[in-house]
Amino acid sequence: MRIRSWIKKTKAGRFFWRVVIGLVGGAITVFGAIALVGPGPGILIVIAGLGILATEFAWAARVMVRTRTYAQKAADKVGIPKWVQLALIAGVAVLSILIILYLYATGNI
């Protein structure tokens, strides 16, 4: 959090931070929308992108709640057991952590 608070000390820094969060979260959300019709866990990627956007934008938090509700209703309708849903979420979380650690170890972060 020290980096974020250091960047957000000035008005220009706050604007820069919101732009970066908007670009990263928007790109992930668009990628998730593409994965909805293609191969991949589209709804999980969309929720991840909205989660990133929700750290800075209130509208994204509201959309994320609606999207999560929609995803839960769809999973209930399909009949995916709760443990499978949790396993998918845990798997994506572990994969994300591994990617972040790899990027950190190679000096790309």
Percent of the chain with pLDDT over 70: 98
Of the two residues 75 and 46, the one the predictor is more confident about is: 46
Per-residue confidence band for 75, with pLDDT thresholds at 50, 70 and 90? confident
Verdict on whether the full-model pTM lies above 0.75: no
93, amino acid identity: A
Copy the structure tokens of residue 77.
């309708």
**Spatial distance between the Cα atoms of 31 and 83, rounded to a whole number of angstroms:** 26
Mean pLDDT, rounded, for 3-15 = 83
pLDDT the model gives residue 67: 78
Written as six digits, the tokens of 97 are: 């952590």
The set of residues, in sequence order, having a beta carbon less than 8 Å from that of 17 and lying 6+ positions away, is: 4, 7, 8, 56
Q: Mean pLDDT, to the nearest integer, of 23-44? A: 84
Return the ∠ at Cα 37 (arms to 44 and 69), rounded to 5°. Answer: 40
